[in-house]
A and B are shown apart, each in its own frame.
Chain A
Amino acid sequence: MRLWPCDGPFALVHRAANADHLHCLSPEAEARGLHRGMSLPDARAMCPALVTRPADLPREMAFLRMLARWAGRYSPWTARDGSDGVVADITGAAHLFGGEAALVADLAARLGRAGLTVRAAIADTRGAAHALARHGGGIAAPGATRAALGRLPLSALRIDSETVAGLNRLGLRRIADLADLPRAPLSRRFGAGLLLRLDQALGIQPEPLSSETGLPHFGVRMTLPEPIGLVSDVMAGLDRLLDRLSDRLAAAGQGARRLRLELGRVDRSTVLAEIGLARPMRDARRIAALFRPAVEDIDAGFGIDMMRLTVTQAEPLAARQVSAGGEVAGDRLSDLVSRLGNRLGFEAIQRFAPAESHIPERSFLTLPAAHAEAAPWPPAADAPERPILLFRPEPLVPLAPCAAEPPARFRWRRMELTRARTRGPERIAPEWWFDDPAWRNGLRDYWKVETREGWRLWLFHTPQNPDWYAHGTFA
């Protein structure tokens, strides 16, 4: 709104179930009789001058998360409440602000200064505060929850609209109507959820608040007096941000695994550069070097005047003793994996680990190198000989009659090959407890076949369904 000021009625529009609905309105729009959830054509009919913009739900959620973090000034125990609210447990904290009324006034004044319209409510329970905040706001005195809630409609109880409609059909419209009814028939007819919500609102059932703000947030920002555009300038700015960020990470004993650099341009658009790291780290210099290719790709437009660096994924990283030249080779290897992974995708960089299976395709695991350390392989003491390359089974064309032995002449990959030496068979049966489509044609007799043309092939014969295939090549 600050970027695109607009005087007349304004609304955010959200498309749900194939129809546009008003998601959020300005006071001017509400004054013309529009309300939330109204369909856009109806609203346009009532108010042709309505200016609309599509709603951005993920950014609204991000904003709420930010607001919940800000609310930490009132209580350490804050969380998002549904899609449109923030809830804070201010038990034992209100006196620090001069009482509950003063706290609400302070909150409204601060948020009003930021341009937000706020409805705040304080009640004994989370459910009651939720209901009050959405129906006028106010403060329910301790112990007076039932009286404060009684006059509110049933939809304030956080129950679905179908239940509300069903209760309305029975003539129950206010929470007070519901609170005095016998409980057993209600729960039989509308399910236990209704009574749970009612009990939570009235404080009969506890409803603890799980705080999201307990997770540490690592973000630093910098506003520049003059726009910048050179890669070296951005890197210099990034170095300063990284120094601050790595101090914070070190204080929390954490290392960054993914980082996002947001660059605000003078025309109010933002560009993103995001990198992943093969290992949690907080070494500013090494992270800056890994950011360079991403920063070089950024289009600065008319110039960059804001930089924000956030850790989107952090992992614990204990402080390590730095020895002279001890960990350098490992560090350089993980930096290489980070660099390769940021361009090719981290799943494309793999390590191999052994697996317990006789089926060739399942006798090893491929793991992303960024998340797997080198696993030791058992030495091949008396393991049967295995090919060095494996491919999807390729059918052979036998050019000579064959029965149990591999054909004396055959065609493979448009080459005519002559069998020289064979070794086999080695019978491998499918694992019956897995339904593997590649092994549908039953057990296989594997042969190592040397050809006069030089190829050493791993062939197999399927006796139940007589056919010959090549499956791999030896060194």
Chain B
Amino acid sequence: MLAAIPAAIPPPPLLPHRVHEVCGPGAHGFVAIQAALHKGPVLWIGAGHASERLFPPGLVPVLDPSRLIAVGTRSETDLLWATEEGLRAGPLGLVVASPDKPLSLTAGRRLQLAAEAGRTTGLLLVRAGAGSNATETRWQAAPVLHADGVTDQGWQEWTLLKNKKGANGTWIVNWDAKARSLLVVSPPGERTGLAPLAL
């Protein structure tokens, strides 16, 4: 009976001053929404040679690109160093990094300690199945497609795969660009049978 109630409870916010991970085809959208939910400048660290680049005009409905500081690094070591410096510095709202390789437990712990020292939240974009055990939570984000093809734009399914301090779960969310807020929507699906008329 409980399962039939749509999950109107919003997904838990990222635990502050910890480092989190996100994977999946919608990971960049997840990062943009999380960045919009945090206050302060956002440091986005990626490999300088990556072929995929952030496209600021696409971020405008979610996140003001003027809050972004993008860093391109030459090596994985530089990337981790820049992430740690950003987390430790303190003035940033969110530090985003996309490491190429899976993080070792040591590197993950180190980032957690830096985040606690600098009181900054971190978010790593990882490949599916390439997360670190030191992460506080690991999310999977994927765009949702409605079966009938009339789905609203930008629906995303967020799944909490790992959570050190709480339960896992799945939410379907939508970003309201006008109100700049996150809406939880009921999962799309076929209705079985007619709904009883409430008179």
Chain B residue with the shortest CB-CB distance to A331: B91
Contact with B along A220-264 (1 / 0, CB 8 A): 000000000000000000000000000000000000000000000
Partner of B92, one of A333, A354, A455: A333
Query: How far apart are A152's CB and chain B's nearest CB, in angstroms?
Result: 58
Chain B residue with the shortest CB-CB distance to A448: B153
Q: Which residues of A contact B90 (CB under 8 A)?
A: 332
Are B81 and A343 in contact, CB atoms less than 8 angstroms apart? yes
B41 within 8 A of A: yes
A335 and B43 CA atoms in complex are apart in Å by 14
Q: Which residues of A contact B33 (CB under 8 A)?
A: 475
B187 within 8 A of A: no
Query: How far apart are A369's CB and chain B's nearest CB, in angstroms?
Result: 5
Tell me whether A352 and B66 are in contact in the complex, defined as CB-CB below 8 angstroms, given that A343-B78, A388-B54, A472-B55 are known contacts. yes
Tell me whether A388 and B28 are in contact in the complex, defined as CB-CB below 8 angstroms, given that A364-B65, A377-B65, A383-B57 are known contacts. yes
Partner of A337, one of B67, B69, B145: B69
Q: Classify the secondary structure of A's interface with B.
A: mixed
A379 within 8 A of B: yes
Query: How far apart are A103's CB and chain B's nearest CB, in angstroms?
Result: 56
Partner of B56, one of A343, A364, A474, A475: A364
Query: How far apart are B172's CB and chain A's nearest CB, in angstroms?
Result: 13
Tell me whether A454 and B145 are in contact in the complex, defined as CB-CB below 8 angstroms, given that A336-B85, A387-B55 are known contacts. yes
Interface residues on A, range: 35 or more
Tell me whether A380 and B91 are in contact in the complex, defined as CB-CB below 8 angstroms, given that A455-B25, A475-B26, A475-B62 are known contacts. no
- The interface size of chain B toward A, counting residues with CB under 8 Å, comes to 52
A205 within 8 A of B: no
Partner of B29, one of A351, A450, A475: A475
Tell me whether A473 and B28 are in contact in the complex, defined as CB-CB below 8 angstroms, given that A336-B89, A350-B70 are known contacts. yes
B59 within 8 A of A: yes
Are A380 and B89 in contact, CB atoms less than 8 angstroms apart? no
Are A339 and B28 in contact, CB atoms less than 8 angstroms apart? no
Contact with B along A155-174 (1 / 0, CB 8 A): 00000000000000000000
Q: Which residues of A contact B29 (CB under 8 A)?
A: 388, 474-475
Are A375 and B74 in contact, CB atoms less than 8 angstroms apart? no
A187 within 8 A of B: no
A349 and B71 CA atoms in complex are apart in Å by 5
A452 within 8 A of B: yes
Are B145 and A452 in contact, CB atoms less than 8 angstroms apart? yes
Contact with A along B146-176 (1 / 0, CB 8 A): 0001010110100000000000000000000
Of the candidate stretches A82-90, A317-325, A389-397, the one touching chain B is: A389-397
Q: Which of A381-412 contact B (CB under 8 A)?
A: 383, 385-392
Are B177 and A377 in contact, CB atoms less than 8 angstroms apart? no
Partner of A450, one of B48, B60, B85, B145: B145
Are A376 and B145 in contact, CB atoms less than 8 angstroms apart? no
Are B56 and A352 in contact, CB atoms less than 8 angstroms apart? yes
Are B72 and A348 in contact, CB atoms less than 8 angstroms apart? yes
A164 and B31 CA atoms in complex are apart in Å by 72
Are A392 and B91 in contact, CB atoms less than 8 angstroms apart? no
Tell me whether A363 and B57 are in contact in the complex, defined as CB-CB below 8 angstroms, given that A344-B74, A454-B25 are known contacts. yes
A376 and B32 CA atoms in complex are apart in Å by 18
Query: How far apart are B142's CB and chain A's nearest CB, in angstroms?
Result: 5
Tell me whether A391 and B154 are in contact in the complex, defined as CB-CB below 8 angstroms, given that A340-B71, A340-B82, A344-B78 are known contacts. no
Are B58 and A450 in contact, CB atoms less than 8 angstroms apart? no
Q: Which residues of A contact B89 (CB under 8 A)?
A: 332-333, 335-336, 339
Are A454 and B142 in contact, CB atoms less than 8 angstroms apart? yes
Contact with B along A349-383 (1 / 0, CB 8 A): 11111100000100110100100001111011001
Are A339 and B143 in contact, CB atoms less than 8 angstroms apart? no
A14 within 8 A of B: no
20 interchain pairs, CB-CB under 8 A: A332-B91, A336-B43, A336-B89, A340-B85, A344-B73, A344-B78, A348-B74, A349-B70, A350-B71, A352-B56, A352-B66, A363-B57, A380-B61, A383-B57, A387-B55, A388-B54, A388-B55, A388-B59, A389-B58, A475-B32
Listed from nearest, the 8 A-B pairs whose CB atoms lie closest are A475-B29, A386-B58, A390-B55, A332-B91, A380-B60, A374-B66, A352-B56, A336-B89
